[in-house]
Structure 1
C-alpha cells in the first residue's frame, strides 16, 4: 500500500511539474511571439537649439544650466548699445526722408494745379520731372522706414527668449562671450513634447493600433506610467539598398537563413506623469500595449 501511494505521489508531482512547464512555456511563447511589448523603448522630446538672431557681446545671463524656463522668459541679453545707435541713426534718416517727401509732394501738387489751369509757365516735361522726383522721394522714404523697422527688430532680438516651455541643458554661456547670429549656444528640451518611442518588431504591428492603451516602466523605476498609442512610423531606412554611380538601385546580397524582424518606432503619448518620476530624454523603458480593451495594461514577470 505504501509503495502504491509513493508511486502515485511521484506520478502526481511529475505531472504537476510537466503541466507547470507547459504553462510557463506557453506564456513565454505568447509574450515573446504574440503580445506587443518591447524592452527597446526611449523617452524622447523635441530639442530646440537656442541661438541668437543677432551677433554681439553677451551683457547679461539670466538662467543657468538645467534650469526650467517658461515660454517667453529672457535667457540672456546681448549688449544693446550698438543697436540703440543703429536705431537712432535709422530714425534720423527717416525724418530726413519724410521732410524730402513732403517737399516733393507739395511741389508735385503745385505743378499739377498749374498744369490743370493750362499755365504756359509750366510744361509737361516739368510736371513729369517733379513726378519722378516725388516717386524717388517716396521710395527713399519706404527704404528708410524699413531700415528703421529693422533696427527696432535687431534691438528687440538682442534679448534672447525661450521659445517653448522646457529645461535648459548644456548651457555654459557667460557675460562677455561673443555670440554669432544663428549659431546655437545651448539646447532647450521642450517638456511639452516629452513622449516615449517604443521600437516594436514588425511581426507585432498587426496587434498595435492608434489609441491602444500602453504601460511604460522606466529603467530604475518601480512605478508604471500609462499612455496611449499616438502613431506608428510610416517608414524606416533600408540599410541594404543604396544608389549606384548610374543612379540604379544597389542592393546588397544576403545569405541569411534566419531573417530578423525590423524594429518599427511607435510613438506613445503619456498621461500626466507623477511628480516623483523624472522624465529625461534618452531614458530607456519597457513598453507593454494592451490591444484588446481600454483598461490599463499590466506588466508580467515575463515582460521585464
Structure 2
C-alpha cells in the first residue's frame, strides 16, 4: 500500500481564510448593492411624490432705479448729496442758478398784466364806440333835416324863378330881377347838394363806427378778463416760467440711495443730462434665471425662499413670483446666438423670473442691486 499524503495544517488555514474573505466581499458587495438600490428607490419616490421645489443660484438683486436729470439749463449752484447717501422722497438733491428763471417769471408777470390791461382797454373802446354810433344817429338826423331844409329852399327858388320868367315875358319885371332869381336858385341847388353830401358823410361815419365796434366786440366776445386768448397765452407763459423756476431745485423722486453722482458745483447742465441715480433699496426685487426644464410647474403667486451671499444661511428672505421675462437672456443679448449652423450644440436656456421681496425684511436686512441670491420656489401651491 502507498501512503496518502495529508495536507499541511498551514495550507488548510490559508484556504479557510481565503474562503472567509470571499464571503465577506460578497456580503459587502451585496450590502452596497442594496444601499444603491435603496437610494435609487428613495430618489425615485422623492422625485415623484416629494419634489415640490426648484432652486437656482443664478439670481441677482435688481431695482427700478431712477436717473436724475435736469429739466432746465443753467449752472449748478449747490450739490447737497453724495454717493451712498440715503435720501427721502422730495429731498432737494441739487440747485441750479435760478436768476435767469426769476427774470423770466417777472417778464411773464408783466406780460400778463399788459394783456389784462389791453382787454380792459378794448372793453372801454366798445363803450366809446357805442356812444359814437349813438352820436352818429343824431348827426344823421341833423343832416336829414338840413337836406329837407335845403330841398324846401330849392323848391321855393324854383317857383320864384318860374314866376319871374312868366312876368318877364309880359315886361312886368326887369331882367335883373330874373337874374337875381336865377342866382338864388343856383345857391339853393348848391345848398341842397351840400346838405345831401353832409347826410352821406354822416351815414358813412356811422357805418365806419359800426364796423369798428363790431371788430372791437369780436376781440372780447364770449370772454372775460381771464378767458381772453391773449390773457390765457400770458398765463401759460407765466406758469411755464414758474415751473422752470421750481425745476431749478432737483428733488429725489422716491426714498433711496444716491449712486453714480457725476455732477459738481459750477458745471453747466442741459435738459436731459444724467446727473446721478437714485436706487430704491426698499423696493428691490430678484431676477432668478431658472433653467427652462425647471419652469414647468412655476406659476405667478408662488412663494419663494431666498438666501443672500451677503448674509449667508443666517438670514432667509421670503418672496413671491410676480412674472416671467418675455424671452431668455440669450434672446435679448447684444449678439444673439446663431443656432442655424452645422456645428450646433444644444445649450439649456435660462428664463428670468421676477421675484418680489418683502419690504419689512429688506428694512431689517438691507440689500443692494447686483448682489447674488439663491432662490427656491415652492411648487406645492399651484
TM-score (norm 2): 0.63
| TM-aligned CA distance change 1:176 to 1:286, over 3 Å | same
The answer for the alignment partner of 1:231 in structure 2 is: 323
Q: 2:266, 2:355 → 1: CA distance?
A: 43
**Structure ranking higher in helix proportion:** 2
Gaps of at least 5 residues in structure 2 are 1-15, 141-204, 333-337
CA contact (8 A) 1:35 1:207 kept: no
Alignment of 1:120-139 (within 5 A): 122-123=206-207, 124-132=210-218, 134=220, 138-139=228-229
| TM-aligned CA distance change 1:210 to 1:92, over 3 Å | same
The answer for the alignment partner of 1:59 in structure 2 is: 77
Deviation at 1:51, TM superposition (A): 0.5
User: RMSD value over aligned CA atoms?
Assistant: 3.5
CA contact (8 A) 2:53 2:380 kept: no
Deviation digits for residues 268-289 of structure 1 (CA, Å, limit 9, x no counterpart): 1112325563311111211111
- Match of 2:296, SS state, is helix
- Match of 1:264, SS state, is strand
1:92 and 2:110 are equivalent in the alignment: yes
Higher mean Cα deviation, 217-226 or 175-184? 217-226
Q: 1:255, 1:27 → 2: CA distance?
A: 41
Alignment of 1:140-179 (within 5 A): 140-179=230-269
Deviation digits for residues 212-268 of structure 1 (CA, Å, limit 9, x no counterpart): 11111122422221111111224347749xxxxxxxxxx852446753232111111
1:108 and 2:126 are equivalent in the alignment: yes
Deviation at 1:172, TM superposition (A): 3.7
1:205 and 2:295 are equivalent in the alignment: yes
The answer for the alignment partner of 2:286 in structure 1 is: 196
Q: 1:219, 1:28 → 2: CA distance?
A: 28
The answer for the alignment partner of 2:194 in structure 1 is: none
- Match of 1:83, SS state, is helix
- Match of 1:151, SS state, is helix
Q: 1:228, 1:239 → 2: CA distance?
A: 25
The answer for the alignment partner of 2:173 in structure 1 is: none
| TM-aligned CA distance change 1:27 to 1:187, over 3 Å | farther
The answer for the alignment partner of 2:273 in structure 1 is: 183
Q: 2:217, 2:134 → 1: CA distance?
A: 15
- Match of 1:36, SS state, is strand
Query: How many residues of Structure 1 are paired with residues of Structure 2 in the alignment?
Result: 281
Q: 2:362, 2:239 → 1: CA distance?
A: 47
1:280 and 2:368 are equivalent in the alignment: yes
CA contact (8 A) 2:306 2:376 kept: yes
Gaps of at least 5 residues in structure 1 are 241-250, 295-304
Structure (1 or 2) with the larger CA radius of gyration: 2
| TM-aligned CA distance change 1:117 to 1:12, over 3 Å | farther
Q: 1:20, 1:257 → 2: CA distance?
A: 39
